[in-house]
Amino acid sequence: MKPSPLLAWYRALAIATGCALLIFCGFMIAKYGFGGAKDLTTYVAMLHGYLYIGYFVVTFLLGQKLKWPLGRLLFTLAAGCIPFASFVAERRVVREAAAAGAAAPAKQPVSA
């Protein structure tokens, strides 16, 4: 598979969603463990939610394009809600997309 805008969007949203989730986890620890950052936790949760919606849509479209099996698609979709999983899934998807692009023969123009 050649580099596509969909893969670039997937990479950006996977990293952003993973970072927002880690920040959100830190704020949850601060909120419930130490009684601080109560108002900021709401905003970070909303940020992660909006990023996850974008991640979900782009991941679903990429999975359809690459013809992933249902289990693979579900794991990759769920990776945006599991700390550090989106980083692992992002690296795996990019590696497999690069391997698929290298394995696919280039189309030759038809000569007349």
**How many domains in the chain?**
1
**Domain presence at residue 20:** yes
pLDDT of residue 3 exceeding 70, the answer is no
Q: For residue 72, give the amino acid letter.
A: R
**Domain presence at residue 107:** no
35-93 pLDDT, tens per residue? Answer: 888 888 899 999 999 999 999 999 999 989 888 899 999 999 999 899 999 999 999 98
pLDDT of residue 2 exceeding 90, the answer is no
**Domain presence at residue 109:** no
**Domain presence at residue 112:** no
Q: pLDDT grade, residue 107 (50/70/90)?
A: low
Q: Which residue in 49, 51, 50, 30 sits closest to 41, CA to CA?
A: 30
Task: Domain of residue 72: give its range.
Answer: 5-100
Burial class (CB in 10 A: 0-12, 13-18, 19+), 90: buried
**Domain presence at residue 85:** yes
The CA distance from 13 to 1, in Å, is 19
**Domain presence at residue 90:** yes
Provide the whole-model pTM.
0.81
